[in-house]
Amino acid sequence: MATQAPSLAQINALAQQGQLGLALSQIEQVVIADSRNAQAWHLAGMLRRKAGDNAGAVDALDRAIALGQGKAEVWNSLGLAHEDSGDLAKAETAFAKAATIDRSYTPGLTNHARMLGRLGRHAEGEAVLAEALRRNPKSPDLLNALGALLIEDGRADEAEGLYRQSLAMRGNSRVAVIRLGQTLREQGRADEAVALYRTQRSVLGETPEFVNALAGALVENGEWAAAEAELERLCAAVPGNFQAHRSLARLAREYGTGKDCYRSFRQLAAQFPDEPAVWLEWIGLLLHYRDYAEALEVIAAASACLSLEQLDYAKAVALSETGEGAAAEALFHRLETTATGMQQAGLTSRARNAIRLQDPALAERLCEEAVRQDPLDQFALAYLGLAWRMRGDARELWLHDYERQAQQVPLEYLLDPARMEELRAYLRTLHKAKGHPPDQSLRHGTQTEGALLSRPHPLMRELRGAIAQAVRDYIDRLPDDAEHPYYRRKQQLFRFAGSWSVRLTTAGFHVAHIHQEGWISSALHLVVPARGADEDADAGALVLGEPPAELQTGLPPRRVVTPREGWLTLFPSSMWHGTLPFSGGSERMTVAFDIAPI
């Protein structure tokens, strides 16, 4: 007797029960047997996306739509798949279609508004949600979505009222409580956020999202030991919540708790030695924090339990960074010849190692392939420029024109000493850590948390407005050149892809680095220490075009910029930049940000 094929409902139920692999195999059998089943293709798309197969998800959902499955839910699923793939423009189009098809379908509306916000089009997103709220003013989900959009737009004070309205309608909304706490933190009221979370704890329960939010508020409120205790309990109770493990590690490093920052990962690996995700997460963090020697030890331990290509790639990176460049190149070369080949990050990592081995020709080949695959890869452009420089290729100065692309301009309002001091005093209150973030470029100093220029404080709004105008003027001065990797991105619409303040102490500096997520990067100098009697004339200066010291190229900076208080320096995100140490004075303060075109 033939076995009856499972229904779509049964397949979906398997996925909901955690049996994703079985659900996937069954839905693939269904679409092979009935390739014109639009509903099956829709489910296949959702399951493929859940399994991380974004390209397969997009293909399945496109098939479902072509076969007439054009409901808002399908377009919303397609938008999520495009978003997972990194194609935000196609995601926005799909979400907009979902919102147009069914104006009562809240996920489509909220995702459309959220995506408009991600693209920097906050006013459009706000209009979408405002219109939806006019039709349905008592929707907590719409209020929550509008609140999130306002927070991202630097209007946390306005978002606070929306979340309080949402909680008045649905008092047990975990989303509203967590985000209300976020608005309080953005307004400098971390103590109120902590009080809110502690009051709501018995109502909302011990979910990972809630505990992580509470721990973040505790840190900001100066209750580091309490935050550490919360994260330790969460790591023990929900071992698979990697965010908690990462937060615990960062807390130990930045706030000097004196504990082994990787202790929870050690326990996790001992508990689940055969789980690849545990090892890869831990190794990824070790590489991110530049703990390369320890990474090699953990890779060896993982390799005793598992055989994964990712472990070989991580080993190659760690070998390169610990001075074993030849061994690293041999491993990179072997990985290039495997069935999967070298992935994008592997190309740039191998190019970095090639530069360390004084092989700019290999670095050039790898970077050109990386740029072909992703023209916006800032690391690939940075290493390509360096390879050209080592080869004496004039294209280096075509790619990075240190005179035209790096511009230093004043923010006029900060030339008033009183207004400058008011800004400095406010920023000092935000520097609460004891040490520098382990994954950032600064040494001997601290960096603020979160998106600085999204804070609703009047001083941040004023600063953001002044910076935005300076960036617009800078963009206007750039040439129009559709063939140039930097100039071809020129357009007036842009978003802040990140913003922060750095406060360096005596002997503080930045190692040479670039910004992968940016197009234009920056340094706004607010405190420039006077040079000490024995200091070099360039002490504390911003240096452009000097490669990272650990690559041992011996190449000097292409340009040295003398910092001036109240002046903003803008330059390409792919341009190597760092600062020289200073010893005169006890403080050097900057605001920095990245710009990405919309």
Per-residue pLDDT, averaged over 49-72, amounts to 93
Q: Please say whether the beta carbons of 566 and 411 come within 8 A.
A: yes
Bridge partners (DSSP) of residue 509 are 443
Residues 288-302 as b/e (b if ≥16 CB within 10 A, e otherwise) read: ebebbeebbebbebb
pLDDT beyond 50 at 556:
yes
What secondary structure, in 3-state letters, does 212-257 show?
HHHHHHHHHCCCHHHHHHHHHHHHHHCCCCHHHHHHHHHHHHHCCC
The answer to whether the CB of 525 falls within 8 A of the CB of 502 is: no
DSSP element (H, E) containing 507: strand 494-510
Query: CB under 8 Å to 567, separation ≥6 — which residues?
Result: 408, 409, 410, 411, 524, 525
**Residue 2 pLDDT more than 50?**
no
Q: Stretch 353-357: mean pLDDT, rounded?
A: 97
C-alpha dihedral sign at 521, 527, 528, 534? negative
Residue 358 pLDDT level (bands cut at 50, 70, 90): very high
Q: Averaged over 549-557, what is the pLDDT?
A: 94
User: 177 to each of 162, 201, 205, 346, how far by Cα in Å?
Assistant: 11, 10, 12, 41
- CA-based torsion, 511, 517, 521, 527: positive or negative: negative
Side-chain half-sphere exposure of 580, counting CA atoms within 13 A? 23
How far is residue 398's CA from residue 480's CA, in Å, rounded to a whole number? Answer: 14
Q: Is the dihedral of CA 566, 569, 570, 576 positive or negative?
A: negative
Distances (CA, A) of 137 to 115, 128, 166: 22, 13, 10
CA distance 444 to 259: 20
Q: What predicted TM-score, i.e. pTM, was given to this entire model?
A: 0.83
What is the rounded average pLDDT of the residues 349-368? 97
Reported as a single tens digit per residue, the pLDDT across 104-130 is 999 999 999 999 998 888 999 999 999
Per-residue model confidence as pLDDT tens digits over 223-241: 989 999 999 999 999 998 9
Interior CA angle at 408 toward 404 and 409, to 5°? 120
% residues pLDDT > 70 (the chain) = 95
Distance of CA 257 to the CA centre of its chain: 25
Higher pLDDT: 51 or 411? It is 411
- 193 CB-contact burial (10 Å; exposed 0-12 / middle 13-18 / buried 19+): buried
Looking at the predicted structure, is the pLDDT value of residue 537 above 80?
Answer: no
What number of other Cβ atoms are within 10 A of residue 474's Cβ? 18
CA-closest candidate to residue 215, choices 240, 234, 189: 234
Instruction: Judge whether 588 and 501 are in contact, CB under 8 Å.
Output: no
pLDDT on residue 584 = 66
Burial class (CB in 10 A: 0-12, 13-18, 19+), 392: exposed
Mean predicted lDDT score pLDDT of the chain: 91
pLDDT attached to residue 163: 96
Strand order in the sheet with 520-527: 407-410, 567-572, 520-527, 588-597, 494-510, 442-447
Most confidently predicted of 301-310, 460-469, 573-582: 460-469
Q: What is the pLDDT of residues 283-310, one digit of tens each?
A: 999 999 999 999 999 999 999 988 888 8
d(CA 598, CA 594): 13
Owner of token pair 């979400």: 95
Residues 6+ apart with CB under 8 A from 93: 79
pLDDT digits (tens, 9 = 90+) for 477-510: 999 999 999 999 999 889 898 999 998 887 776 6
pLDDT in tens, 67-110: 999 999 999 999 999 999 889 999 999 999 999 999 999 999 99
pLDDT at position 205 is 75
Lowest mean pLDDT among 202-211, 323-332, 412-421, 557-566: 202-211
Q: Residue 402: helix, strand or coil by DSSP?
A: coil
Q: In residues, how long is the chain?
A: 598
Sign of CA dihedral 495, 445, 221, 205: positive
What is the chain's Cα-based Rg? 26
Task: Measure the CA angle with vertex 311, ends 305 and 317; round to 5°.
Answer: 145
Per-residue model confidence (pLDDT) at position 4: 58
Alpha carbon of 420 to those of 411, 423, 473, 500: distances in Å? Answer: 10, 5, 22, 17
Count the neighbouring beta carbons within 10 Å of the beta carbon of residue 89. 11
Going by the DSSP 8-state scheme, the letter that residue 480 receives in this structure is P
pLDDT given for residue 1 in this prediction: 35
Q: Looking up tokens 């040079």, which residue turns up?
A: 531
Q: Which residue has the higher pLDDT, 1 or 149?
A: 149
What is the distance between the alpha carbons of residues 336 and 60, in angstroms, rounded to a whole number?
A: 30
- Helices and strands: H and E segment counts in the chain: 26, 9
Compute the average pLDDT of residues 333-355: 82
Mean pLDDT of the 457-479 span: 96
What pLDDT is stored for residue 15 in this prediction? 83
How sure is the predictor about 338, in pLDDT bands with cuts at 50, 70 and 90? confident
Degrees, nearest 5: CA angle 64-70-72: 120
Angle between helices 458-477 and 417-428 (to 10 degrees): 110
Grouping H, G, I as helix, E, B as strand and the rest as coil, residue 578 is strand
Adjacency order of strands within the sheet including 542-544: 559-561, 542-544, 577-579
- All structural domains of the chain, each given as residue ranges with its CATH number in brackets, are 222-252+259-269 (no CATH), 407-597 (2.60.120.620)
More confident residue, 86 or 249: 249
Q: What is the pLDDT of residues 176-189, one digit of tens each?
A: 999 999 999 988 89
Distance CA(375)–CA(368), nearest Å, equals 9
